[in-house]
């Protein structure tokens, strides 16, 4: 219901045409019944077509197993395999599962490593998969690296440590950029991933004088208030931090502007024609015909994925430092 788009003249001109085109399906691919996916209460997730009929048939209990969410993702994987899909975007599925779990108050339970080891468990269970699983980590890393202002010599890295966070710390330390952590446990975890040549660039410090912060989930409010004025916060997670500081700059989560030739409507939590790195990575992977999974602790070459994305017409968002948000 794009009422305000019509009123203010921001309606995409191809909307009506795309709607008419979407109705013209081949007979053999037409569906008899389509259920709308619409949550009314957190409990209604059990009655969606994305859920499980077996759960919907039982009385609701407060017990929710993370294995159920993992099974939801695996069901989608096997369905994609059956339909002959080339690539499955694990990042997109994890994001959907993350949202559902958050609605149910289970945010702390849902972490990629804890549920499925970043998708590696699905490859182990289904060794003959034709569809390739792509979590999009390499492109997310590339976007964050290319968002850091040129000439930066120090960055703060804080928040929930993920596959992307570890890759960022390793790459930056390798490039001679000092990575500052604020907590000893994070420092010790990151240090295990570094070699002797680069570990000297990893520093534990309570002195928050750096003007570039790379932040993930679980960025605490008190940490954000420790930052200097005009600090640039660059998220490396799928959900950006809450903007508590009006005197600082907040970059978007890893995302790119899609090419004009691509007719895809993007979520309303991103600017128009902007798509998250995790979704773009799957499109680029399929377009390039790469015959590898990007899941588990394996990551595609960051520079290769970055150049391929640019070659296919995706380009970075333009950040305006005079404002506190993107676009």
N- to C-terminal Cα separation, the chain: 23
Under 8 Å between Cβ of 238 and 257: no
Indicate the range of 31-40, 164-173, 205-214, 267-276 predicted with least confidence. Answer: 31-40
| Cβ pair 22, 34 in contact under 8 A | no
**Spatial CB neighbours of 246, under 8 Å, sequence gap ≥ 6:** 324
Q: What is the pLDDT of residues 167-222, one digit of tens each?
A: 999 999 999 999 999 999 999 999 998 888 888 999 999 888 999 999 998 888 88
More confident residue, 272 or 258: 258
Q: Is the pLDDT of residue 38 over 60?
A: no
User: From CA 162, how far away is CA 5, in angstroms rounded?
Assistant: 38
pLDDT (0 to 100) of residue 294: 92
Q: Which residue's entry shows tokens 């890759």?
A: 167
% of the chain surpassing 70 pLDDT: 73
pLDDT band at 313, cuts 50/70/90? very high
Exposed / middle / buried, residue 88 (Cβ in 10 Å: 0-12, 13-18, 19+): buried
pTM: 0.75
The more confidently predicted of residues 38 and 266 is 266
Q: Could you tell me the domains of the chain?
A: 35-134 (no CATH), 136-327 (3.40.50.720)
Strands of 178-181's sheet in order across: 202-204, 178-181, 154-158, 212-215, 232-235, 249-250
Is the pLDDT score of 17 beyond 90?
no
Reported confidence tier of residue 57, pLDDT bands at 50, 70, 90: low
Lowest mean pLDDT among 135-139, 268-272, 310-314: 268-272
3-state SS class at 60: coil
Q: Give the lowest-confidence range in 153-157, 228-232, 233-237, 322-326.
A: 322-326
Contact 97, 72 (CB under 8 A): yes
Distance of CA 199 to the CA centre of its chain: 27
Can you say how many angstroms the Cα of residue 128 is from the centroid of all Cα atoms in its chain?
Answer: 26
Q: Report the distance separating Cα 236 and Cα 251, nearest Å.
A: 10
| Average pLDDT for the chain | 79
- Dmax over CA atoms of the chain, in Å, equals 65
Q: Is pLDDT at 20 greater than 60 in this prediction?
A: yes
Choice between 10 and 55, residue whose per-residue pLDDT is larger:
10
Q: What are the pLDDT digits (tens) for 274-311?
A: 888 988 998 899 889 999 999 888 889 999 999 999 99
């Amino acid at each position: 219901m794009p009422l305000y788009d019509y009123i203010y003249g921001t309606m995409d001109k191809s909307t009506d045409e795309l709607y008419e085109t979407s109705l013209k399906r081949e007979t053999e691919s037409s569906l008899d019944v389509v259920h709308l996916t619409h949550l009314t209460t957190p409990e209604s997730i059990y009655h969606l077509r994305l859920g499980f009929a077996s759960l919907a048939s039982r009385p609701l209990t407060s017990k929710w197993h993370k294995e159920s969410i993992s099974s939801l993702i695996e069901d989608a994987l096997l369905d994609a395999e059956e339909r002959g899909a080339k690539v499955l975007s694990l990042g997109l599925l994890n994001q959907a599962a993350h949202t559902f779990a958050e609605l149910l108050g289970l945010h702390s339970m849902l972490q990629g490593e804890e549920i499925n080891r970043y998708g590696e468990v699905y490859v182990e269970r289904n060794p003959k998969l034709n569809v390739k699983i792509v979590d999009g980590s390499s492109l997310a890393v590339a976007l964050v690296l290319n968002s850091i202002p040129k000439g930066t010599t120090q960055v703060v890295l804080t928040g929930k440590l993920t596959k992307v966070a570890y890759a960022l710390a390793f790459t930056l330390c390798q490039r001679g950029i000092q990575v500052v952590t604020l907590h000893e446990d994070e420092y010790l975890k990151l240090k295990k991933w570094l070699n002797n040549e680069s570990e000297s660039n990893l520093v534990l410090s309570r002195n928050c004088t750096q003007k570039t912060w790379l932040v993930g989930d679980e960025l605490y409010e008190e940490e954000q208030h420790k930052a200097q004025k005009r600090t640039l916060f660059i998220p490396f997670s799928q959900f950006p931090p809450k903007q508590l500081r009006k005197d600082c700059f907040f970059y978007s989560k890893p995302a790119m502007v899609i090419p004009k030739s691509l007719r895809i409507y993007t979520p309303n939590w991103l600017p128009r024609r902007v798509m998250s790195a995790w979704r773009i990575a799957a499109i680029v992977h399929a377009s390039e015909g790469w015959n590898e999974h990007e899941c588990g602790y394996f990551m595609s070459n960051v520079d290769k994925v970055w150049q391929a994305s640019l070659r296919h017409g995706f380009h970075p968002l333009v950040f305006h430092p005079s404002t506190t948000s993107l676009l």
